[in-house]
Structure 1
Amino acid sequence: MPRILGIDPGLQTTGFGVIDVAGHQLTYVASGTITTTHLDRGDLPARLKVLYDGICEVRKRYEPDSAAIEIVFVNANPQATLLLGQARGACLTTLVSLGLPVAEYTALQMKQAVAGYGKAGKAEVQEMVRRLLQLPGLPGKDAADALGLAITHAHAGASMARIAQATSTARRTTGMYRGGRTH
C-alpha cells in the first residue's frame, strides 16, 4: 500500500500530512506542523535546519514511499517570496536527499483536486480534507494543505506518470547549459 507525504512549505510553519492509498481508498495516517517561530527571525540557517530535521523525523517515523510539495509563486512582498522560496528549497532538498520521489503541484491544482474549485478558501480545503479522509475534526490550515497535496498526488500521480511516459513532458534542456558552466 503506497504511503504519500504531503508538504506545505513555509518558513514559520511547514505543514505535513501522510496518507495511505489502496486503489481509490485514502486512509489518514498523520499530520501536523514543523514550526520555527521559537527561533530568532533573522537566523535563517537555524530555521532551515529545523525544517530539515523535522522532515527527516517525519520520514523516519512514517516511512512514506513518495512525497508531494506545493509549488510556490511570487506574491506582493519580494522579501517574503525569497524567504518562502528558501524554505521550499530546504524542504525539497531534504525530501530528495532522503531518497523520496517528489511530485510538485500548485495550490490551484491541489484546490481543484480536493475541493473541485481552484480558488477554494482555506476553510473549504480543510472541510473537504476532513470529509475525504473521514476525520473526526478539521485539521489545521497548514496540515490540511499538506494532506490536500498528498490527496492530489494520490489522484493525479499515476495519471501524470503515464502521461509523462507517453509524451515527452520531461524537463527540457532548451535555454540551459548542457555542458555545465561556461567561463
Structure 2
Amino acid sequence: MRVLGVDPGLTRCGVGVVEGVPGRPCTLIAYYVVHTDPDDDLALRLLHLDRSLTDLVAEHRPDSVAVERVFSQHNVRTVMGTAQASGIAVLAGARAGLPVQTYTPSEVKAAVTGSGQADKAQMTAMVTRLLRLAEPPRPADAADALALAICHVWRGGTRSKLAAAADRVRRGGAR
C-alpha cells in the first residue's frame, strides 16, 4: 500500500509518501514541505497548497491519504490556518477518488513510538529508524507527514477492512 501523509499547515505543510504493508517496515518514497508566504492573500495561499498537493497525488499515485486531524490549539489564528490546510489535503485526496483517513497527533505518536506522549525529537528519531534513513527528515513537518503515512499503513488497513465488513453487514451480505 502506498500512502501520502499530510501534516497540514498554511505556512509549512509536510508531505510524506511511504509504501508498505502492516507488520513490515515501510519504504520511503519521497517527502516534501509545501511553503506559502504568510504575506500573500489567503486565497492564493490555499490555491498554491491545493495545486501542490494535487500535483503530488498525481505524481506519486498513492492508494490512500492520511491527514493529521486538527485539534484545538491556544492560538486561534494558528488553528484556523491548520484547519484550512487540512481541508485542502482532504479535498485533494477525495478529488482523486482516494480514501482519506484522519488521525490525531496522539494516535500517530502511539503508532510510531509506542507512546501517545512522544515529543518531536522522539518522533523524528523513530521515523528515521523505521524508514532506515541515514539522516533525519527535515524539517519536522516532513517527519510528521512520514509518521502519518507509516501510521496509516500499520493501522489504516485494519480500519478499512472493518469498515468494509460493517458495510457488507449493513447490506445483508455477511453475518
TM-score by length of 1: 0.84
- How has the CA–CA distance of structure 1 residues 102 and 131 changed in structure 2, closer, same or farther, with 3 Å as cutoff? same
Q: Which moved more, 1:66-75 or 1:55-64?
A: 55-64
In 1, the alpha carbon distance for the partners of 2:28 and 2:43 equals 32
In 2, the alpha carbon distance for the partners of 1:27 and 1:145 equals 15
Structure with the largest fraction of helix = 2
The equivalent residue for 1:93 is 91
The equivalent residue for 1:164 is 163
- The answer to whether 1:133 aligns with 2:134 is no
In 2, the alpha carbon distance for the partners of 1:63 and 1:71 equals 22
Q: How does 1:17-166 map to 2 (within 5 A)?
A: 17-22=16-21, 24-37=24-37, 40-41=39-40, 43-140=41-138, 141-166=140-165
- Give 5+ residue unaligned stretches, structure 1: 169-183
- Secondary structure in structure 2 of the residue aligned to 1:149: helix
How far 1:152 moved relative to its partner? 0.4
How far 1:163 moved relative to its partner? 3.0
The equivalent residue for 1:175 is none
Instruction: Name the % identity.
Output: 39
How far 1:25 moved relative to its partner? 3.3
In 2, the alpha carbon distance for the partners of 1:166 and 1:62 equals 28
CA contact (8 A) 2:57 2:92 kept: no
In 1, the alpha carbon distance for the partners of 2:133 and 2:161 equals 31
- Secondary structure in structure 2 of the residue aligned to 1:30: strand
Q: Which moved more, 1:15-24 or 1:70-79?
A: 15-24
- How has the CA–CA distance of structure 1 residues 22 and 77 changed in structure 2, closer, same or farther, with 3 Å as cutoff? closer
CA contact (8 A) 2:14 2:144 kept: yes
For the aligned residue pairs, the C-alpha RMSD in angstroms reads 1.6
In 2, the alpha carbon distance for the partners of 1:25 and 1:124 equals 18
How far 1:60 moved relative to its partner? 2.0
How far 1:167 moved relative to its partner? 5.1
* Length, aligned pairs only: 165
How far 1:22 moved relative to its partner? 4.2
CA contact (8 A) 2:25 2:130 kept: no
The equivalent residue for 1:4 is 3
In 1, the alpha carbon distance for the partners of 2:59 and 2:157 equals 25
